[in-house]
Amino acid sequence: MILHPRLRAREARNVFRQARTLALAERLDSRPLEYLKARQFRLLRWILNYAYDNIPLYRSNFDRAGVRPGDMRSLDDLEKVPILTKEQILSSYPEGIVAPGYGPATSFRCSSSGTSGVKGEYLSDRKTRDETWALLFRVRAKFGYRPWHKEGVFSFIPHKRKWFENLGYMRKFDISMGKPLPEVVEDVERINPDIIWGVPTYIHYLISEQEDIRASPKFVLCSGEYLAPVERMDIEDRFGCPVVNFYGCAEAPFISTECQLHEGQHVNMLNALVEVSRDGVQLGPGEVGDVLVTTLTNTAMPLIRYNTGDAATMSPDECSCGRHGDMLATLEGRRDDFLMTPAGRIPPMMALVAVAQPEVKGYRIVQEAMNRLVVDLKGDTIDDGTRATIAGRLGEVLKNPDLEVEFRMVSDIRPEPSGKRRVVICNA
């Protein structure tokens, strides 16, 4: 199969695109922000015209809002374009959101984990997929990854092994999250990966339950959900290596990533446009808003102002590492997990800081009503004083003197079937 001429030609095209993307990304790092914005605007106008001409959902949404692609005179005019929701995608898939000539058999497919309650399927053309692959490689390479290193990936579904893995390059080893934890530890120690990649709550859950894990990765790549400061600290202490926070989703696999300085998230400005907005209006630095993503090159299933369901803040400054471009200052978690207070909703991380005490080995916060929280705690030395401290801090965070906090001592707080572990749940 490797020697088949058609396969050789396709692989050659893939390698060429990936190498070109890596070279372009390196060049763009040194360009001023104004240049990057101008390039984004050119790609934006192109994808808006393409979507309007080829995607029924966008033509309908644009016409309803009285917007035409030609109305775009600057990036600020993007606010005129309607926001795209996951519900719209699911109800329109495939005929209303997939461009003619594309389909599951002719595109790269990616499915969401279903954390929000509904799974979806998203398509990418080959060029965009190659670009994304190259950018993901670049993220890891910045932290010392080399093609001959081994990646241990926590997952439920085994990946389809590539031909170059059989030659010893870019090898991924699946570590099933569905196995009992002692067997997971055996797999980690047998593989002894140079890189560990997974959702942070599962990795934190694993190291909390299994104290003896003989592995020495160069770094741990966390993605797929909010990374709490205590999780980062514990994972770094256990493995003795940096934790790299990477932000992406099935719909847009590469949105932003940390660099070695960990001053925030470098936004992917090569083939995406990221906004932080409230009700469609772009917010200033430091303001918490919805993360909207526009994919600028995907001709199979373009996403324009897609609401990821996550919240973040933009940074007022560029990173001191010298790379230019937009920065996300903080990732605040999913909007669905924001807690209700008398003054409005607050990000879950504020409550997590209140609960993260040395004695607490695991926790989950469930808001059942405005004035009532149920907190599951795991730990052997959590006394009444610790619980009173946590309750007092939660009352201060939620600015609610009437807050009722019920504590439940539990032996385990397991991840959900997706492998993620929602530690803050708002049912109010």
27 CB burial (10 A radius; 0-12, 13-18, 19+): exposed
| pLDDT score at 205 | 85
- The span from the CA of 60 to the CA of 67, in Å, is 10
Amino acid at 62: F
Amino acid at 305: R
Most confident range (mean pLDDT) of 18-27, 107-116, 356-365 is 18-27
| pLDDT score at 335 | 78
| pLDDT score at 114 | 58
Please compute, for residue 148, the number of CA atoms within 13 A of its CA located in the half-sphere on the CB side: 0
pLDDT exceeds 60 at position 104: yes
| pLDDT score at 106 | 87
Q: CB-based contacts of 37: which residues, under 8 Å, 6+ apart?
A: 75
| pLDDT score at 231 | 87
**112-119 average pLDDT score:** 61
Beta pairing class for 327-334 and 362-369: unpaired
- The span from the CA of 207 to the CA of 198, in Å, is 13
pLDDT exceeds 50 at position 1: no
Q: Is 290 helix (H, G, I), strand (E, B) or coil?
A: strand
**Which domains, and CATH codes, for the chain?**
5-143+242-334 (3.40.50.12780), 338-426 (3.30.300.30)
Tokens of 405: 């906090």
Q: What is the pTM of this model?
A: 0.86
Task: Give residue-wise pLDDT tens across range 266-308.
Answer: 999 999 999 999 999 999 999 999 999 999 999 999 999 999 9
**347-365 average pLDDT score:** 77
Q: What is the mean pLDDT of the chain?
A: 89
Tokens of 428: 């109010």
% the chain with pLDDT above 90: 60
**249-274 average pLDDT score:** 94
